[in-house]
Amino acid sequence: MVNSIKTNVVSGNNITNKYLAFITMYIESFKNNQFIAWNNNYAGVKLNYVWPGDLRKYFNQNYLCSKQIDNTYVPYATFDNIDNVSKLLNDYWSKYSGVSVSAENLAKLWITKWNKKKMSNSDFESFKKNNNDIYKDIVNTINDGIDLAFALKL
């Protein structure tokens, strides 16, 4: 995974983009001290969202559905390999690469921009206020991911 990110995440502020790519994969697929994914979808790319531009070029035509806690099904993209996931993350996050790498900055981007319609700044502030425990868990998870990325020499 780290080699794929180093090779394929090259746009914008390289360091920020690499950390955004790693943190996205970390949040979406790091479980029990390892990265786990179905069909190479380490980024948890959902298809119940209209992906901007030509990002869909990285997906396979096949997809899989996962049953959620509320008994609904969500379609997920499948990928030929992890490099396509890294390339998608490079293209997706490059426009946000001007931020400095901190758990709070990366949490805000992940919460407001990833796998959903974009959330406004006021909606984000409301989310933080009304879901403070969830927000703190996300920031703590991102801190752990930053530490792991550093340890892996990202």
The model's pLDDT over 35-55, given as tens digits with 9 standing for 90+, comes to 999 899 999 999 888 888 899
- Domain count across the chain: 1
**Would you state the pLDDT for residue 115?**
65
Query: What share of the chain in percent tops pLDDT 70?
Result: 96
Are 43 and 71 in contact by the 8 Å Cβ rule? The answer is no
**Whether residue 28 has pLDDT greater than 80:** yes
Distance (Å, whole) CA 31 – CA 52: 29
**Would you state the pLDDT for residue 12?**
59
Residue 10 lies in a domain: yes
Residue 59, SS3 per DSSP:
coil
Residue 71 lies in a domain: no
Q: What is the DSSP string of 115-131?
A: TSSPPPHHHHHHHHHHT
Residue 70 lies in a domain: no
Least confident of 9-13, 111-115, 133-137: 9-13
Residue 44 lies in a domain: no
**Would you state the pLDDT for residue 117?**
67
Q: Which domain holds residue 138?
A: 2-37+84-151
**Would you state the pLDDT for residue 13?**
59
Residue 74 lies in a domain: no
Least confident of 1-5, 64-68, 129-133: 1-5
Residue 9 lies in a domain: yes
Residue 109 lies in a domain: yes
Q: Look at the block and give the residue holding tokens 């209209």.
A: 50
The model's pLDDT over 55-106, given as tens digits with 9 standing for 90+, comes to 999 999 888 888 888 988 889 999 999 999 999 999 988 888 788 889 999 9
**Whether residue 29 has pLDDT greater than 80:** yes
**Would you state the pLDDT for residue 153?**
86
Residue 124 lies in a domain: yes
